[in-house]
Amino acid sequence: MTEFVMPTLGSDMTQGTLVEWKKKAGDRVTKGEIIAEVDTEKSAIEIESFYTGVIHQLITKPGETVPVGTVMAIIQEEGKPVGPGEAGTEATPVKESSPSPVREPVVSPPPKPGRLRISPAAKQLAAELRVDPSALKGTGPGGAIALEDVRAAAETPTKEPPTVSADRQARMRETIAAAMARSKREIPHYYLSATIDMGRAMTWLKEENLKRPVTDRLLYGVLLIKAVALALRQVPELNALWKESAAVQSPDIHVGVAVSLRQGGLVAPAIHHTDKQTLGELMMRFQDVVKRARAGTLRSSEFSDPTITVTSLGEQGVETVFGVIYPPQVALVGFGKVVERPWVVEGQVVSRPVVTASLSADHRVTDGHRGGVFLSTVDRLLQEPGEL
Amino acid sequence: MTKMTYREAVRAGLHEALENDPRVFLMGEDVGKYGGAYACSKGFLEEFGPERIRDTPLSESSFVGAGIGAALGGMRPIVEVMTVNFSLLALDQIVNNAATIRHMSGGQFSIPLVVRMATGAGRQVAAQHSHSLEGWYAHIPGITVLTPATVTDAKGMLLAALKDPDPVFIFEHAYLYPMEGEFDEGALPVDITRAAVRRPGKDVSLITFGGSLWKALQAAEALAGEGIHAEVVDLRVLRPLDQTTILASVKKTHRAVVIDEGWRTGSFAAEVIAQIMEGAFYDLDSPVARVCSVEVPIPYPKHLEDAALPQPEKIISTVRNLMG
């Protein structure tokens, strides 16, 4: 038997609230499949299973908030024997203090396959009254949960309901505050910047986009992300995570892209294996991840996997970014706006589009020399856009 | 309040219009000597003369077209098409001329035309005289489509239609002509942009129009005996549809059944349901249902005709299913 625990979705996460199980006891799960939806300070996230097997028991109930590392479910892993006496284990370190806010259903209803049968009005009311509809017995047509069922449940006295999504904005601010304070407290930052000639890249992009259908056109930001990913192959020390007292280089390059959210705050989900994607693939992944970040449907791995962060504030007209590293990462790359500037080419002053790339790096891990090599590699790569 | 039949109300409306406005004239098959297929213009030929009460050849396309021309020329024609079943011959005039001329002339011309026709089944006159096609007309932008179901509306909507600068089509359910009701003088003039709640209720909205209104009211009465309080909404105007009244009712009751004598597939009921989905999805506590005609040419034998049409029993059982 394997324990499925509340994963950490970023170093700043200390606890999570189970929104719903996507599986029930007895269901098969494969590694990477969505098993639960968890609400964190940042957003609701779909959690992927780390194991392949059969769900033996679901321990955490929807609405419960549990610390990271708490056993949420027991999975019988494929190919592993059922340990004697393991079934029904009581080894659940759910803290006494953690609230168990959801009303216990009097009769545990048999889990139904697929979606909950509930009328739209009842669903809406349940959300307003903070009633967990999965615990209700429907009396509407075909056994659907109707308004009356939700009203009846709401009238039954319950403990304080969970505030799953309340004040998410305030909590996100707190989370960012904690992570950034920790970063500035613990990480000795050094900053480098380089102005990069984007003439070739922009010309190439223009021609490339003419060949592409309108829906597949590339943004220059994708070239920057790809250049960063490829430069990290040359300077792998920057593609690392700080663990306790040393940096551990990551074998894979997962660039986290900073996405600002309309309601305020930001997230930086990973585009996995950034260096191995074509520009077209990267563009698709980028658009997808931005869309889902704003919709609050990012996956757990996208939160926990970035090995470096890229942030671009060019849209706001910013020319240079002096970024704060997102721990446990050890570097952050910032890009400003692409602007036309006088530029000297072969002794002549010409007008060229240029961008300022900046690096914030952890001085415990790298020195300015390696950081400089990294930025000049990004520059070099952007002079050969066709190779990206 | 005075008691009168629906037929008398239509006749009173026509009479008042002819008396008050010299531009008004009546035209159609058998409206003169015969007094109208449903006797709505009985005695008019003698009273108003052949200039204003005109019998036409059996050619819907030509006399509807002539009505359009007369309206363009400043008259206020009231064209009677004997039944909606025959109006299909005039569809080209209606869709391509009546409904478009204001648009195509950049607003320079309008067609103040009123076309009345009988619709609906229930009198054992078989398929070619029994269909309910008013939902088709409701598809056409540029015209107004009215379905008076009460004696007050039978007269009041006609008078309101004559004041409209654009084409108005009035569908009178043939089953209603002999029906007697209270004429409510206080309800005039009739607002031909709004639906009417005919019976308030809190549990389910029965949304209907025309001849089906009375079946819905019967069903609501029976349901009240079971403790189910149905609200009955009479749409009255199929185009432009009064979405406000529909949505307000559904938001109150959280359930809706649409009753429409048209065939189920592509019915006007389907449009009403689509608008409920668009505007009140999160207020629904059960799927929206409809009671429509069975998809057959309306049969002649009484038992089969009854079985093909929406009936109070069918409405009642549909509502019961929605209540869980």
Give the chain A residue whose CA is nearest to the CA of B287. A119
Helices (H), A240-336: 279-295, 300-304
Question: Of the residues B136, B167, B187, which one is the last residue of a structural domain?
Answer: B187
| Same domain membership, residue B149 and residue B13 | yes
Please indicate, yes or no, whether residues B156 and B206 belong to a single structural domain of this protein: no
Q: How far is CA B90 from the centre of its chain?
A: 18
pLDDT of residue B260: 98
Q: How many residues does chain A have?
A: 388
> Looking at the predicted structure, is the pLDDT value of residue A14 above 70?
yes
- Whether residue A328 is preceded by a cis peptide bond, meaning omega within 30 degrees of 0, is yes
Phi, psi of B217 (to 5 degrees): -65, -40
Residues of B in contact with A119 (CB under 8 A): 254, 284-286
Can you give the pLDDT at residue A114? 62
pLDDT of residue A86: 42
pLDDT (tens digit per residue) in A277-315: 999 999 999 988 988 888 777 888 888 889 999 999 888
* pLDDT score of A104: 34
pLDDT at A80: 64
Q: Same domain for B106 and B249?
A: no
Task: Identify the structural domains of chain A with CATH numbers, from first to last.
Answer: 2-88+95-100 (2.40.50.100), 103-161 (4.10.320.10), 169-387 (3.30.559.10)
Contact B288, B258 (CB under 8 A): yes
Q: Are residues B218 and B245 in the same domain?
A: yes
CA atoms within 13 A on the CB side of B102: 15
Is residue B147 within 8 Å of B84, Cβ to Cβ?
no
Domain that holds residue B62: 2-187
pLDDT band at A98 (very low <50, low <70, confident <90, very high): very low
* B202 and B141, same domain (yes or no): no
A241-264 burial code (b ≥16 CB/10 A, e <16): bbeeeebeebeebbbbbbbbbeee
Cβ atoms of residues B204 and B322 within 8 Å: yes
Answer with the residue of higher pLDDT: A12 or A235. Answer: A235
Token pair for residue A263?
């309601």
Shared-domain flag, residues B272 and B148: no
- Confidence class for position A89, pLDDT limits 50, 70, 90: very low
Mean pLDDT of chain A: 83
**Catalytic residue, candidates B60, B134, B261, B271:** B60
pLDDT digits (tens, 9 = 90+) for A328-379: 999 999 999 999 999 998 899 999 999 999 999 999 999 999 999 999 999 9
What integer pLDDT is reported at residue B111 of this predicted model? 97
Give the model's confidence band at A167: pLDDT under 50 very low, under 70 low, under 90 confident, else very high. low
Give the Å distances, CA to CA, from B274 to A44, A164, B239, B258, B267: 32, 34, 15, 11, 11
* Beta bridge mates, B169: B115, B145
Q: Which residue has the higher pLDDT, A295 or B226?
A: B226
Of B88, B155, B83, whose CA–CA distance to B122 is shortest?
A: B83
Q: Which pLDDT value is given to residue A173?
A: 83
- Residues above pLDDT 70, as percent of chain B: 100
pLDDT: is B192 or A100 the higher one? B192
pLDDT at A94: 42
Task: Reply yes or no on whether the pLDDT at B161 is more than 70.
Answer: yes
| Among the partner residues B285, B321, B323, nearest to A119 by beta-carbon distance | B285
d(Cα A201, Cα B283) in Å, to the nearest integer? 53
Q: pLDDT over 70 for what percent of chain A?
A: 86
Contact A141 B322 (CB under 8 A): yes
Compare all CA atoms of chain B with the CA of A150 and give the residue at the minimum distance: B285
What is the per-residue pLDDT across A223-249, written as a single tens digit (0 to 9) for each?
Answer: 999 999 999 999 999 999 998 889 999
Residue that finishes a domain, picked among B187, B213, B243:
B187
B91/A326 Cα distance (integer angstroms) = 70
Segment among A165-174, B68-77, B220-229 with least mean pLDDT: A165-174
From the list B285, B321, B322, the residue facing A122 with the nearest CB is B285
Q: What is the mean pLDDT of residues B126-133?
A: 96
Rounded Cα distance between A111 and A74, Å, is 17
Answer yes or no: do B182 and B233 share one domain.
Answer: no
Do B47 and B16 belong together in one domain?
yes
User: How many structural domains compose chain B?
Assistant: 2
CATH number at residue B161: 3.40.50.970
How far the first Cα of chain A sits from its last, in Å, is 45
Residues A154/A136, Cβ–Cβ less than 8 Å: no
Task: Label residue A33 by pLDDT band (50, 70, 90).
Answer: confident
Closest among B294, B135, B150, B129 to B213, alpha carbons compared: B150
Q: Please pick, among B129, B173, B261, B271, the residue that the annotation labels catalytic.
A: B129
Please report, in angstroms and rounded to a whole number, the separation of the first and last CA atoms in chain B: 41
For residue B208, the domain's CATH number is: 3.40.50.920
Q: Tell me, what's the pLDDT at A71?
A: 83
Contacts of B305 (CB under 8 A, 6+ apart): B121, B122, B124, B130, B298, B299
- CB neighbour class for B257 (10 Å; exposed up to 12, middle 13-18, buried from 19): buried
Nearest 5 degrees, angle CA A240-CA A243-CA A249? 25
pLDDT in tens, B280-292: 999 999 999 999 9
Q: How far is B243 from chain A (nearest CA, A)?
A: 19
- Residues B250 and B299 placed together within one structural domain of the fold: yes
Q: Do A140 and B283 touch (CB under 8 A)?
A: no
Predicted confidence at residue A168, as pLDDT, reads 67
Helix segments in B107-207, DSSP class H: 134-137, 151-162
- What pLDDT does A350 receive? 92
Q: Are residues B89 and B166 in the same domain?
A: yes
**In the prediction, which pLDDT does A112 show?**
47
More confident: B96 or A264? B96
Considering the domain architecture, whether residues B227 and B166 belong to the same structural domain is answered as no
For chain B, the residues whose C-beta falls within 8 A of a C-beta of chain A are 254, 281-287, 321-324
Domain boundary among B187, B206, B228: B187
pLDDT value of position A105: 35
**Same domain (yes/no): B153, B205:** no
